[in-house]
Amino acid sequence: MTASVELVLGAPGTGTSQRAVQEVIQHVTGGGRLEEVLVLAPTRAAATDLRERLEAELGVAATGMPVHSHQAFGFAVLAQRARREGLPAPTLLSGADQDAVLAELLQSSTGAGHPWPEEVVPALGTQGFRDELRDLFARAVEHGVTASELAALDDHQGEHGTPGLWRAAASLMTEFERVTALAAPAAVDAAWVVAAAADLLLVEDDLATQVLGPLRLVVVDDAQELTVGTHRLLTAALAGVSGRAVLLGDPDAATQGFRGARPELFVDWARSQGASVEVLEQGHRLGPGLAAVAERITGRVGAATVAHRTPAPAARRGGAEALVLPSPHVEAVRIATELRREHVLGEVPWGRMAVVVRGRAQSGRVRRALERAGVPVQVTGGGQPLTGHPVVSVLIDLLEAAVHAARTGDLSVDEERALAWLGSPLGGLDAAGVRRLRRLLLAGVGEQEGAAPVTSGELLVAALTEPPEVWEGRGAELGPLRRLATALTRGVEAARRTGGRSGDGRAGGPGVTAEEVLWAVWDGLGVADRWQRTALEGGVAGRRADSDLDAVMSLFALAEQFTERRPGAGPEVFVETVSSSGVARDSLVLGARRDAVQMLTPQTAAGGQWEVVLVAGVQAGAWPDLRLRGSLLGAGRLVDLVEGRHGELSDQIAAVRHDETRQFLVACTRATRRLVVTAVRDAEEQPSPFLDLVDPLPPGVETRPVSAWVPPLDLPTQVARARRELLLAAGAPGPRARPTGTEGPTDGARQERGIEQVDASRRAAWAGELVTLARAGVGAADPDRWWLGRRPSSAAPPWPEGTLAVARPSALGTWQDCALKGFLTAHGGQSPAGPQQELGILVHDVLADHPEAPVRELEAAVDAQWEEFGSPEVWWSRRDRERLSEWLRRYDTYRHECGRELVATEVPLDVTVGGVRLVGRVDRVERHPDSGALHVADLKSGQVGSPKELPENPQLGAYQVAVEAGGLQVVAPDAGTAAVSGGASLVQLAEGQTIRTIDRRQAALAAGEVDHAARLQETGREMLAATHLATVGDACRHCPVRTSCPAQPEGGQVA
């Protein structure tokens, strides 16, 4: 090697990256040319940052900067050789693409005679197994181990290895290389790029001269991230350079250890080359307090060198603190509060703050808390696979269905798939919405003369597979069906546009791309404009719409990239590739950083700095995570074996601990002023010992206390506090109680006195704050909008004169028990359906579709819909399923022993009686065989009350009144005779073992003592009244509108 080597060591914040920039500037200003410079960085993000810095300093377009990531430089070497030899240009096989191929190969290798040891067979289909395979292959390629050599090493795994595992992996490695070579002959993965480029530079002198000959300066930033493979590429490059090589880094601050980084490698190698060593002794980022934190953390890292660890601190103020919170939720809320306080009170821009988390799970939890608190956030690391986003997964499924229909002519959609689409953000329905849709479809069929029996599931499928025009004019509630049907129809049309088959024999005409069919599906959904409006409006719904649109844009970018890289592959190949990968896809274009809090991992935080940094989720067992990397497939054992090391288990654990500490150091040294580290202590979680390195406990204190509650700094909280303090200062009664630990310094005195003395100065101060807020447009601060100061706007009835009262029989009992509850629940005050209600809806649907089926057929029908309720692996799901089976057995008992014959199920009801319009559906209409009188049966999965209440039951009474008014559309025994009610029943499915306890009967109207027609008329008048009486009773304990009831303490008006 002819290049002279210089080693520059610097602790975090001492300016190693800036020194790299200065080396280039000095070379150019000293008469050198940019073409003579090569700058290497470990990642594309780091290379982009260096490129932009150089552009700012030199005034040269960033595209002309000689800055590359290690993989990009290797790729450039391969591309140069391809151009010289007239070969196809290489394309990079991304991690997600590799994962997709491995998933397919593993699935096909699990049949009879598969090579895998039985111990690992259950793991073959998991994402974790594929991750370890990719790591094993990468380490093998880095160290020049071929598939045949890997198989030969199987007998040398040692006592912790699994015999036969490396032989099976070697077989898969050979198949993987064959498949990828056939699918894309010029495709290369990142590890192979680096290894192949190093080999070419060492073997092909002409190529080395062409690539390296002009170079006079090679700068390697963050050299602690060099792997064995990238170090080999570097040494191969320096062999052809006659100038200077400057390696800059900090062996304590590596974050890519999980990808094979060897933090000490660059130091050892530079010293072996007789390199001059320079230590950066002045810190520029960390003041004394934060520098002390860094020193305590680096003291726990295994040292390759320590000379650089104690630079002079920067002349900055700042410090660090560690917070322990009682739950993950409180931790996330506290993080949002700290960020808001810094922004509002400290005037720190959002973009100068960051949150560092360990991984994807924590990132999602904290991100959601920030969004709820109105904190703008940009996630830069810890991303999930694109198909993990619900919008993307459904779009891919719709695309697959359309392509399949174009190929086979069969647009086959089953009920399970239809329900998944309807329940997605593209369908927009929850479980209750799907139930309503089922009932609407059934009602539409019921209106058709001579319609054949059909289930609601069959109707859902038909609605999606028939032309969308069929459902036009059927009301807005059918909108989700029309939307999805239109998307499918347009997708099929796009896939068939030119006819024939694609170049790879898949569906679609020649030239039909995945991007075109995907666009047709998306355009057919017609949600883009609405989502865009919602996103611009902000709030929780706006942020969700923004996230959904971002995911869709990412999917289109991926489709465009796929089309460019694999022009001969049809849409089916795109679907298979995206669906089978569980790896987050990397974008070739880094997102523009906006004025938002950055959500980072240690890897994506490396090289950056922010004024305020919060490191979240520092839990024992999670950070440090001392589990051995690649412990199943043994990538680490392979490296030890190839390099001739015989590490003990304790040495391996120590290496993992040091790697974890390095990542923690990087996370904690990104702050320039304030560092906050958070953890949770509860029944399941304990804080990590790392907290003591950030904020040591005072002498004699063994346990860090839980941090005091800090009220959120947001408008709702501030307005509520101002209103409360104003009323207290004005002499209003003090609060009844506050949560423990939230009392202010005078709260105890206020609670004892109950009434606060008037404090004119405090009253004026708080009133002034509310006036300021009201003038700024905060409506809740305006006293004219407080409920306490409002008067009824009108005493007139809410309905125009002559309005007809409309009621469902099932709601009449609520009106008669408490008119206020009836009014409020009829206008949106009803609680969402709970698990018990959902089970009841399910059994109603099954019994409506199969009213006369034996129990075994009913059980099968339930099983077909059971997945949406829970998994058989969960105890409460098994309990609910057993309960439902008992209901079906009781129904079968009722059906055989009630003594009446079935006339119809799910019968529409719409009749006006005594000024009240009764609407709804009747579960069962039966006929007494002797008299021919009709009998209504209502299936109940909940409690039905005591037998003595049955004669006055208003629901059954209304059914009977409706029967005699001709309100049920069923055939009477004699077409010329009016229908006669023969009674009504509540069929108690949840309890009862005999027909007497299951069939709770109400006598026929003629034999009854209650005038249900008169009671119905009275209830109708109550429904149209101007006021509604609140009646206190036992039902108040479970009332869904209790907080709106003036008869209840929690329903009183507040200021």
| Sequence ranges of the binding site for ATP | 10-17
266 vs 251: CA distance, rounded Å: 8
1027 vs 256: CA distance, rounded Å: 69
Tell which phi-psi region holds residue 298, choosing left (phi > 0), alpha (psi between -120 and 50) or beta.
alpha
DSSP for 1001-1028, please give it. EE--TTT-SS-HHHHHHHHHHHHT-S--
- What letters, b where the CB count within 10 A reaches 16 and e where it falls short, cover 737-750? eeeeeeeeeeeeeb
Q: Which residues pair with 919 in a beta bridge?
A: 910
Given a contact cutoff of 8 angstroms between Cβ atoms, the answer to whether 937 and 1000 are in contact is no
Structure tokens at 704: 């860090």
Structure tokens at 960: 């009977």
Q: Which residues are annotated as a binding site?
A: 10-17
460 vs 413: CA distance, rounded Å: 10
592 vs 550: CA distance, rounded Å: 13
1053 vs 248: CA distance, rounded Å: 67
- What letters, b where the CB count within 10 A reaches 16 and e where it falls short, cover 979-1016? bbbbbbbbbbbbebeeeeebbbbbbbbeebeeebbebb
Question: How many angstroms from the chain centroid is the CA of residue 429?
Answer: 18
Strand, helix or coil at 452?
Answer: coil
Given a contact cutoff of 8 angstroms between Cβ atoms, the answer to whether 445 and 905 are in contact is no
Strand, helix or coil at 320?
Answer: strand
Given a contact cutoff of 8 angstroms between Cβ atoms, the answer to whether 614 and 354 are in contact is yes
Peptide bond into 90 cis (omega under 30): no
| Long-range contacts from 418-423, C-beta under 8 angstroms, 24+ separation | 418/457, 418/460, 418/461, 418/464, 419/460, 419/868, 420/394, 421/394, 421/397, 421/464, 421/484, 422/460, 422/480, 422/481, 422/484
Structure tokens at 302: 């295994």
Count of other CB atoms within 10 angstroms of residue 1024: 17
608 vs 92: CA distance, rounded Å: 27
166 vs 157: CA distance, rounded Å: 9
Say which residues have a Cβ less than 8 Å from residue 820's Cβ, sequence separation at least 6.
1028, 1029, 1030, 1031, 1041, 1045
Residue at 418: amino acid letter = A
Strand, helix or coil at 314?
Answer: coil
DSSP for 794-846, please give it. --S-SS-TTPPEEE-HHHHHHHHH-HHHHHHIIIIIPPPP-HHHHHHHHHHHH
702 vs 696: CA distance, rounded Å: 10
446 vs 453: CA distance, rounded Å: 9
Structure tokens at 489: 């129809």
User: End-to-end alpha-carbon separation of the chain, Å?
Assistant: 80
232 vs 260: CA distance, rounded Å: 13
